[in-house]
Amino acid sequence: MSTFPRDQAWTIVTEYIQGDGLRKHMLAVEAAMRAYAPRYDGNPDEWGVVGLLHDFDWEVHPTFPDHPTEGSKILRERGVPEDMIVAILSHADFTGVPRVSSMEKALFAVDELTGLIMATALVRPTKSIHDVDVRAVRKRWKDKAFARGVNREDIEQGAAELGVPLEEHIGIVLTAMQNIAPTLGVEGERP
């Protein structure tokens, strides 16, 4: 596998993404990818960069199939290694790029889940991700009107592709996000 400097990846993100919410999503996916990398003997820096870059083109290519297909061309121009680009392409089923590696499967598995966890944290009275546990996420999961844009089937499929039980998967991603709570703006409003 290849590497690409995180600072260069962040420069690409900030060049193309202006929205704070989307930047936070990408940081959450980066954290989740870093958490999963050691489990599959992956390089946390490499996996993290893939997570950080996966939606970098969303504001300029907000429709399918342009995202992430058109974005992959930009990443090639910027010197991002091909295996990382393939992983990013594989997180969208319609690209036809199969998820083969653990890194590719992890990216698909964590992408939607980070949104559900973030939404769960933001409806807590404290707005703190530290007040969220797996049970709280599962409770919100059942409410189809809650975080309606989150594809729960993709989360289930992603966990299955990784071979990780759903509750364990939620716990891994939740802990990763809790570890960067201030960066995500969900540290909470403590008295």
pLDDT at residue 152 in the model: 96
Give dist(CA 30, CA 176) in Å, integer: 9
- C-alpha distances in angstroms, 172 versus 26, 77, 168, 169, 190? 17, 34, 6, 5, 24
pLDDT at residue 190 in the model: 55
pLDDT > 80? residue 94: yes
**pTM score, whole prediction:** 0.95
| DSSP assignments along 18-39, one per residue | --HHHHHHHHHHHHHHHHHGGG
**Mean pLDDT over residues 20-45, rounded?**
97
Give dist(CA 179, CA 14) in Å, integer: 22
Domains, the chain, ranges and CATH? 6-182 (1.10.3210)
Give dist(CA 10, CA 159) in Å, integer: 27
**Mean pLDDT over residues 135-152, rounded?**
94
* Residue 157 near residue 4, CB atoms below 8 Å: no
